Amino acid sequence: MVDWDAVVRDHGPAVWSCLWRLLSDRSDVEDCFQDTFVAALKVARRESVESWPALLCRLATARALDRLRKRYRQGGCRRSGDDQVIAQDRLAEAISTHAGPEEHAVAMELVVRLHAALAQLPDRQAEVFCLHTISDWTYRELGEWMQMADSAVGVTIHRARQRLRTLLDESR
């Protein structure tokens, strides 16, 4: 029997942080926060969970990426529309307060563009890239979790980076 109270309170902050980095929007993060734990419950019903942090991080990443895809399908990839304006307002709060105005604006724009680019990657590629680059998973951890060889993880990340570079250049 899982003590969900303990799981949510102990691991909630890490899930919150993971989601915020990928979404930067409070309402999206809150929705995905709940979805993440609901998905974890379904997993826990099927199998014994060895590592809650790893499971929750992966589920959170997948949900965040789904939400990005939905966001950019609705709002397009350009900086226009109410959804984008709201996202940018959130970003303005979130970006480091130590940055000067120009740095602030540049950082904000890069984050939005990277989110939009991530939404265009194939599902698995985006997930592997985010878990490695943003959540600091090692190749070995990714390989074990996703049942891929370390080298296959490396190739996937390499391809993701190539594609993201192209998308970022195209979105200038």
By CB under 8 A, is residue 144 in contact with other proteins? no
Cβ–Cβ contacts within 10 Å for residue 76, how many?
A: 13
By CB under 8 A, is residue 114 in contact with other proteins? yes
Q: Please choose, from the candidates 119, 107, 32, 109, the residue with its C-alpha nearest in 3D space to the C-alpha of residue 71.
A: 119
CB 43, min distance to other proteins, A: 13
Q: Give the C-alpha distances (Å, rounded to integers) separating 68 from 5, 18, 28, 97, 144.
A: 28, 14, 9, 25, 26
Q: Please choose, from the candidates 115, 114, 136, 132, the residue with its C-alpha nearest in 3D space to the C-alpha of residue 124.
A: 132
Distance, CA of 82 to CA of 85 (rounded, Å): 5
CB 152, min distance to other proteins, A: 7
Q: What is the per-residue binding string for other proteins in 17-36, x denoting contact by CB under 8 A?
A: x--xxx-x-x--xx--xx--
State the DSSP code for 1: -
3-class state of residue 48 by DSSP = coil
CB 82, min distance to other proteins, A: 21
By CB under 8 A, is residue 73 in contact with other proteins? no
By CB under 8 A, is residue 8 in contact with other proteins? yes
| Interface residues toward other proteins, by CB under 8 A | 4-5, 8-9, 12-13, 15-17, 20-22, 24, 26, 29-30, 33-34, 37-38, 41, 45, 93-97, 107-108, 110-111, 113-114, 122-125, 132-134, 136, 138-139, 149-152, 154-159, 161, 164-165, 168-169
